[in-house]
Structures are given as structure tokens and as C-alpha cells.
Amino acid sequence: MFDKMTYLDNSASTRLDERVMDAMKPYYFDTYAVATSEFGYSMGIDAKEGLQEARETIASSIGATPEEIVFTSGETESSNMAIKGVVAALKKKKGEHIIVSKLEDFAVLNTAKNLEKQGYNVDYISVDAEGILDLEELKSKIRDDTVLVSIQHANQEIGTLQNLDAIAKICREKEVLFHTDATHSYTRVPIDVSKTPIDLISMSAHTIHGPRGVGALYVRKGTPLIKWMDGGYQETDRRAGLENIPGAVGFAKAVELVTEKENEFLTSLRDYTIKRVFEEIPHVTLNGSKTQRTPQNANITFHYVEGESMTLHLDMRGFAVSTGSACFSRSLEASHVILGIGGDHERAHGSIRFTFGRYNSMEDVDAVVDAIKEIVSQLRAISPLYNKEE
Amino acid sequence: MKFPYTEKVLEHFKNPRNVGKLENPDGKGLEGSPACGDMVAVYLQVNPDTQVIEDIKFESYGCASNIATASIITELAKGKTIEEAKKISWQEATEELGGLPPVKAHCSVLAVEGLRAAIRDYEEKHGLVSEQEPTTVDVIRSRLKHVMNPMAGLDIIRTELVTKMEINDGVVRILIDLPSNHQFAANIKEEVMEKIESLWDVKEVNVVFTE
């Protein structure tokens, strides 16, 4: 039917870069020992060095020191570790109240809901129509017993970027720890912990053409954190379990490969998509912010049509995208992000998320916009809502 | 290439039959599910002497299962009498399509309800309906047979998710055997509310989950 799949769902997963694979290979076939102590055998020492170099790369990418980086299995583990680790450490000393935003990804949101069931108090801070956090509400909700504020950097669905400097400043002033899930901004939008007082950051390799199942948690020196998964003493006794050294090496390589130029290129793909859709297709709404937005994300609602129908038509023509429609979700619920920015079910229903990556081109954008133009008009022709409008 | 649907579903999705509107239809039904967000409209042209559905059209603001089911249902209903068409079930439509993923059963039910709503509309307009009956546990049960258990692709009565149904002075209480934080709890609750709230003598609906 078509020669290749055009993958425009790069916030879900990305194609691995061959150079990442090349960097990882020696740690599967040659230097496959565990990272031993300095008194161990030589292969283990080599493995340890590989892990250490990877740690240094991740650390320097955010202005941290290597000891502040803990390798994990990805975003979900990093965020669980940060939130559950901090609340366990401060429960008796400070209190049982945490604050998150309404737009968090499930790793943070469902961790918060789980803690709520266990008796913790959770406040969910609102956002405006573009998805930007209400800083005044945040300020007003911080209490004496608040132990942690967890606000994402970039949103997974609509790409809205939060002002981390402002949030970190509020948290510092109120002496509350601040965690951010930076899965969807890491390396695409700079973060510098030597300038911004963030205490914990979740990162992942899978969004930047690195291996899946690898991530990291930045833990500022001195941050109280109780280890929540028991086992060995790896990662200076912060994360038990055999280190995924090839994964860590691949993650570091993936970080090195992201360039300023690439981020500018992704921004141009994003802007071109939005421009063409708005010029050529009527009744569309941009979800998220025009200016405070990650380079790789365009999220648009095509009114009067349903998202899963659009994604299936696109799939049959060789394009992979995602939608916030309830019909597409595993829980049959409309996107909490679109509802969180004040959208209704109808807006979530017709929303399509395009997320770009290294292997996309301007031609891909032209092809997908051409396709979606036809699909939307075909589906609107059979929509009872659209006909009423005419 | 692998799609989550059968060839027949994809075929009806790509080329839906009997799409559009009828001018001055004899019966018209519009069904929508706030839970899923899908909507389907069905238009009928019925021969007043034979009660045969001579023409039928549909419109859908829905997902692939919804469009494909509505399409097949129009094919099944065309040429049948309204009494025969009333008996078309979602099971029949689903079988005709070669099956649907369990999680999508509710979208297919909606399409069937669109047809039934159009038939009801025709009957009301032509003086063929009897008096309104008061809501009983039996009425609730039969309504809940149209709420799907997304895990099974069968309704929540048959899969024994409903453990208790009560009605007192128009206040309905329904117990669902799922924890409130279950993956599908919110969806099932919305669908149950939608089915029961619309009954003429129901004032309040409480859906209670087990912990």
C-alpha cells in the first residue's frame, strides 16, 4: 500500500539512532561485566568507567555533578522514585501534603492519586487555556506541611512549557522541594540546575532516539530521598538492581547527538505543520501555547470529527500520529490534558498530536497535511454535527 | 501491516454505506454518548402500508467501530419491517462485521441505539407506542444490558459487574463490582448514568464502586 511508515509520534517513542546502537554494542559483547568496585576484575572496572562517563554526560547536560545523577528504567520509575522517596523521607519531619499540576503525565498523576488513597493530601493546581500553570494558585496552596511540589516542564500532549525558574523560586522561598518531569523537554529545551533551584528531575532516553527502558533522576545534593525499591547497593545505594550499563551509555550518546540545529529544525517542522493546517483546513483549534511550546509538538483539534477515525485513516495511508480522543485511550477517557486546559469532550475528541523527530522531513509534513485535509473533509461529510453548521 | 480491526470493519469504515441525510424522514434518531463522545444519527423512510424500511441513511461523529457498525446496520435494516429491524442487535451487527475488539463494543451499541431511536421516533409519530411504564429493577436491568464491560466486550449485566440495583422514589442506586480507581471505572459510571438518568421517572442515579 505504501513504502514506508511516516512516524509522527515521537513523544511516544523514537527510532533508535544507529550511532547510539554502535555506542551500546561494546557493552553487550565486550565489556559486559557488572560495574565492580575498584578492587574488582578489569572488565568490571572498564564497565564501571563506561557507566561513569555516561553519568558525566547526563550531569553536564543540565549543569549538575555526576553524583547527582541516578540511572533508572525511565520516566515512570524516575518520577515514582522522586515523589515516593521524598514523601517517605519527610512524612514524619514535615508533613503529608504534596502539590502537582492537573496536566501531569500518568507517572506523576497516578503516583499522587495513589498517595492520596494512602492518606496523603494532594492539591492539583489548575492551568490556563494554554496549559500554563497558575503561579498564584501554587503560592496559595503551599502549606507548612507541604513536602513536595511536582510540576512537569513540558506537557506530553500539548507541548506547553512551564516557567521552571518562577516555580523553583516560589518553592525555594517557601522552603519546599521541587520535582519536575522533564521527559518531553529534556535536551530540546535547556535546563540548568546550577542556575535554577530544581531539586529533582525525571529524564528519559526514549524521546530522543535513545534506547527504551532507560532514564535518569537528577537528585540535588542533600535532597532527602528514601530508597523505595529494595535490593543491592547500586547507584550509591539509591537505586537497587543491576545497572543497565549499555542503556546508560546509549542514553548518554543520544544526549550528545541532540544539537541546537536539530531543535531549530524540529521547530520549523512544527511551525510549518501549524501554518499549513490553519491556512488550509477550516474549524481547527491549536491546543497549547503558540510561544511556550516544545520544538517537536503540534496538537490541533479538527472540529466535528473523531480522533480515532482520523488516526485509523492516517494509519491506512502510512502515517502514525496520536489523539486525545476517548476512543483511542486505554481507559476510554478523554484526554485529561485537553479537559484540563478548559476544553470539552468535543475538543479532546477531535485532537491530533503530531510529534516530530530526527528522521522526519518537510516532505513528511506536506504529505501528512495533504492526507489529513482529505480525511477531515471526508469525515466531516458524514458528521451530523458538521452538517448542522452548514 | 496490522490493524486492530477485521477486513470487513475496515472496508465499511473506508466506504460506509447509506451515508447522509433523508429530507423529511419518517423517523429520525440521534444517539450520543457523553462518555465516549460519539454521536450517530439515523434517518428512516418507511412504507406506511407495509411498515417496510424503504430507505435508511446515517451520519456519524464517531470512531471506526461506530462508523462501521452504523454502516452495516443500515444494510441489515434496509428492506426489513420496523418490527424486524427492532430485533437487530449489536451482537448481530458485530458478528456480521467479523467481530470487534471488546473495548469497542460500546461504540457499536451506540449505532444500534441510533436505529432503535429512529424506529421509536417513527412509532411515536404514527401513534404506535403504548403508555410510559414506571421504572422497575427489571427496566434498569434491561437498560444496563446496553452498557458494555470494556474488558469483556459483553454487557455489564451478563459479566456480573452489577452486584445490586435498587430504586426508591425515583432514586436509583447501582453497585458495581470494581474498585473506584479501576482503569474503566469512570467510563462505566458515565455510561450507566447516561442510560438510567434519561428514564422519565428517575430523579437521581448513584453509581457505587466497591473498594
User: Domain of B188: which CATH number?
Assistant: 3.30.300.130
Active site residue B36: yes
Contact A309 B67 (CB under 8 A): yes
Same domain, B113 and B149: no
Q: How far is the C-alpha of A28 from the C-alpha of A244, rounded, in Å?
A: 10
Q: How many domains does chain B have?
A: 2
Select from A329, A245, A359, A322 the least CA-distant residue to A14.
A359
Of the candidates A316, A328, A383, which has its C-beta nearest B61's C-beta? Answer: A383
Q: Chain A partners of B62 at a C-beta cutoff of 8 Å?
A: 306, 309, 327
Q: Which of B78, B94, B125 is the last residue of a domain?
A: B125
Average pLDDT, stretch B54-59?
97
Nearest to B37 among A1, A334, A386 (CB): A334
pLDDT at A173 over 70: yes
Does pLDDT of A389 surpass 80? no
Mean pLDDT of chain B: 89
- Is B63 marked active-site? no
How far away is chain B from the Cα of A63, in angstroms, using its nearest Cα?
39
**pTM, rounded to two decimals:** 0.90
| Cα–Cα distance for residue pair B60/B72, rounded to 1 Å | 13
CB neighbour burial string for B10-44, b if at least 16 within 10 angstroms, e if fewer: bbbbeebbbbeebeebbbbbebbbebbbbbbbbbb
- Identify the three-state secondary structure at position A133: strand
Does residue A85 register a pLDDT over 90?
yes
Q: Give yes or no: residues B117 and B188 share one domain.
A: no
The whole-angstrom separation of Cα B99 and Cα B69 is 10
Mean pLDDT within B48-66: 94
In this predicted structure, what is the pLDDT of residue B129?
A: 74
* pLDDT at residue B131, as a whole number: 67
The amino acid present at A306, given as its one-letter code, is E
Q: Above 90 in pLDDT, residue A334?
A: no
Contact A383 B67 (CB under 8 A): no
- Per residue in B171-201, pLDDT tens? 999 999 999 888 888 888 988 888 888 788 8
Q: What whole-number distance in Å separates Cα of residue A284 and Cα of residue A300?
A: 7
Distance (Å, whole) CA A95 – CA A145: 4
Alpha-carbon gap, residue A180 to A326, rounded angstroms: 27
**Catalytic residue chosen out of the listed positions B9, B68, B107, B193:** B107
In whole angstroms, what separates CA B188 from the centre of its chain? 14
Domain containing B180 equals 137-210
> Does B22 share its domain with B114?
yes
Q: Mind listing the domains of chain A with CATH numbers?
A: 18-257 (3.40.640.10), 259-389 (3.90.1150.10)
Q: Which residues of A are annotated as catalytic?
A: 327
Domain boundary among B81, B105, B125: B125
Phi, psi of A26 (to 5 degrees): -55, -25
Q: Quick check: A3 pLDDT over 80?
A: no
Residue B58 maps to a domain? yes
Tell me if A85 sits within 8 A of A227, measured CB to CB.
yes
Provide the 3-class DSSP secondary structure of residue A177. strand
Is B61's Cβ below 8 Å from some Cβ in A?
Answer: yes
State ipTM: 0.85
Q: Is pLDDT of A182 > 90?
A: yes
> Which pLDDT score, from 0 to 100, does residue B42 have?
96
User: Is B37 in CB contact (< 8 Å) with chain A?
Assistant: yes
Residues B26 and B107 in one domain: yes
* All cell numbers assigned to B152: 469483556
B2 lies in some domain: no
Helices A307-316 & B64-77 angle (0-180, nearest 10): 90
B119 plus B15 within the same structural domain: yes
Q: For A215-373, where are the E strands, in sequence order? A: 215-219, 284-286, 297-302, 319-320, 322-323, 351-355
